Structure 1
Amino acid sequence: MTDDPATILLVEDDAATRTFLGDELTADGYEVFVADCLRDGLRLLETKFPDLVVCDVGLPDGSGLDLLRHVRSADRLAGRVDPRTPLLVLSGRCAETDRIRSFERGADDVVAKPFSYGELRCRMRALLRRCEGRSRSGVLRVGDLEVDPVARRVTLRGQVIALSQKEFALLRTLASEPLRVFTKDELLRTVWGFRSIPGTTRTLDSHACRLRGKLGAAGDLYVLNVWGVGYRLIDPPSVVAEDLAVAA
């Protein structure tokens, strides 16, 4: 594991609960991503690669149980989601049948509302501890470049490349389909979570430039700007087909 703070995805439609938990977890040293609906929860799940998910069941556009099913049915080798991601259900629907249904869909723990924040935090820590030793998988290989979403680790010809959280998320997205051109709007939405795109932001370009520099220190050419469109990781002739395989 790295020394980075654990990342928590909080999917909660109640604004007061969402704000309270976001503030408290951040104060306790976690990196927190929040969503108020199933759609945004699934999007963040596939782009932020959280260490743990805390999810309500009753969401305005669906059920949190669908998110649990999405995680547990994911392809751990080729997919964007690690099916072993710890899942904690935080819900006001906690009759015995509701708890059983959550566990059957893949929940690791269920906490009823109203809840004690101290107890919730301890349960989250316990889940994170139990998952620290899980084996690494889903490593993306593009030529000599390896991206490990679970460990949040990047190596180039065996040498570790230190990246910021956003640089890693950008690289992980590009590496998922290294020949495809991702538009700027698409990357700003998936990596930064923008719902509307500011017309003058240089956020993406500055991160892409720094990422290109870190990966290109030894002369390698990654993170290519397709003018007027967006970015891709490599040019089509740069690697042979087998280098694009996702390895266990």
Structure 2
Amino acid sequence: MNRDRATILLIEEDDATRTFLADHLTADGYDMLVADCVRDGIRHLETSYPDLALVDVDLPDSSGLDLVSHVREADGVASRIDPQVPLLLLSARCGELDRVRGFERGADDVVEKPFSYRELRCRVEALLRRADRSRSGGRLRVADIELDTSSRTALLSGAVLELSAKEFALLRVLAADPTRVFTKAELLRTVWGRRTVGTTRTLDSHACRLRRKLGATGGRYVVNVWGVGYRLVDAPALVDERELREEIALAA
């Protein structure tokens, strides 16, 4: 992706913040779309197809959280909204519970106000890089994991991983956007095609089996973010075999 061509949608009620971000991101080479309410933000999402959206949580006509849910529930056809567009929430309240709520709705990142512009810009660039990698297909590499999506093969430290179709699909989704927390609803919808969450037992059992296969080297790549979903980490954490066996037994 050509960074200079990337289009960012900014949905922000505060005039000063909106002007500041729009001016600085434009100066950094991005094309900007701006809105001050959910209604206008959705209109831009349906007609302009931005590469990323910055969404204020506190908007006059609805919550930014509701907009995130609306985007993630879109089918990408009738709604004309890309359900995979990267979404970064801007929130004046950014405690643990606030961040969890944002991730549960499907946000890719949550940034607390007031924020450092330099840090925000870096987060924007990281999300755009991951989205570009996700769309590019072909080979994906995260740490010692390598996926060839065309041949549906997976390697760990050069050794072939024997994965079921759903295990491979789950790993592919996680590897396309490493470190992002995917909610269970997102994963069920993307991998199993379910529009509603229902039971998460199937997802949990597949995630545990995948974690076990990736844990052969003593590290854990697939991390369970309790109460939210799963993410893939660039550097595996050491795994306690007893803990892993207990999790597998619970999900079996």
Post-superposition Cα deviations, 1:90-137, rounded to whole Å, max 9, x if no partner, equal 11021211111000000000100000000000000000000003348x
Q: Tell me, what secondary structure is at the counterpart of 1:74?
A: coil
Residue equivalent to 2:44: 44
Query: How far apart, CA to CA, are the structure 1 residues paired with 2:66 and 2:15?
Result: 21
Q: Tell me, what secondary structure is at the counterpart of 1:132?
A: helix
Residue 30 of structure 1 pairs with residue 30 of structure 2:
yes
Residues 134 and 77 of structure 1, relative CA distance in 2, 3 Å threshold: farther
Residue equivalent to 2:60: 60
Deviation at 1:77, TM superposition (A): 4.7
Structure with higher RCO (Cα < 8 A, 6+ apart): 1
Q: Percent identity?
A: 66
Deviation at 1:79, TM superposition (A): 3.8
Deviation at 1:76, TM superposition (A): 3.0
Residue equivalent to 2:143: none
Q: Tell me, what secondary structure is at the counterpart of 2:47?
A: helix
Residue equivalent to 1:106: 106
Deviation at 1:72, TM superposition (A): 0.6
Post-superposition Cα deviations, 1:123-178, rounded to whole Å, max 9, x if no partner, equal 00000000003348xxxxxxxxxxxxxxxxxxxxxxxxxxxxxxxxxxxxxxxxxx
Residue equivalent to 1:127: 127
Query: How far apart, CA to CA, are the structure 2 residues paired with 1:3 and 1:112?
Result: 25
Query: How far apart, CA to CA, are the structure 2 residues paired with 1:130 and 1:17?
Result: 26
Q: Which amino acid aligns with 2:120?
A: L
Deviation at 1:70, TM superposition (A): 1.1
Show the 5 A alignment for 1:65-80.
Answer: 65-80=65-80
Q: Which amino acid aligns with 1:5?
A: R
Segments of structure 1 that go 5 or more residues without pairing to the other structure are: 137-248
Query: How far apart, CA to CA, are the structure 2 residues paired with 1:3 and 1:21?
Result: 17
Post-superposition Cα deviations, 1:59-95, rounded to whole Å, max 9, x if no partner, equal 0111001110111111135541111110000110212
Q: Which amino acid aligns with 1:117?
A: Y
Q: Which amino acid aligns with 1:24?
A: H
Residues 97 and 88 of structure 1, relative CA distance in 2, 3 Å threshold: same
Q: Tell me, what secondary structure is at the counterpart of 2:53?
A: strand
2:11–2:54 Cα contact (<8 Å) kept: yes
Residue equivalent to 2:21: 21
Residue equivalent to 1:88: 88
Q: Tell me, what secondary structure is at the counterpart of 2:69?
A: helix
Q: Tell me, what secondary structure is at the counterpart of 1:75?
A: coil
Query: How far apart, CA to CA, are the structure 1 residues paired with 2:55 and 2:105?
Result: 13
| Aligned pairs, number | 137
Deviation at 1:3, TM superposition (A): 7.2
Query: How far apart, CA to CA, are the structure 1 residues paired with 2:60 and 2:76?
Result: 28
Q: TM-score, normalised by structure 2?
A: 0.52
Show the 5 A alignment for 1:230-245.
Answer: none
Q: Tell me, what secondary structure is at the counterpart of 2:22?
A: helix
Q: TM-score, normalised by structure 1?
A: 0.53
Query: How far apart, CA to CA, are the structure 2 residues paired with 1:135 and 1:30?
Result: 19
Root-mean-square deviation (Å): 1.8
Q: Tell me, what secondary structure is at the counterpart of 1:61?
A: coil
2:4–2:30 Cα contact (<8 Å) kept: no
2:4–2:29 Cα contact (<8 Å) kept: no
Q: Tell me, what secondary structure is at the counterpart of 2:5?
A: coil
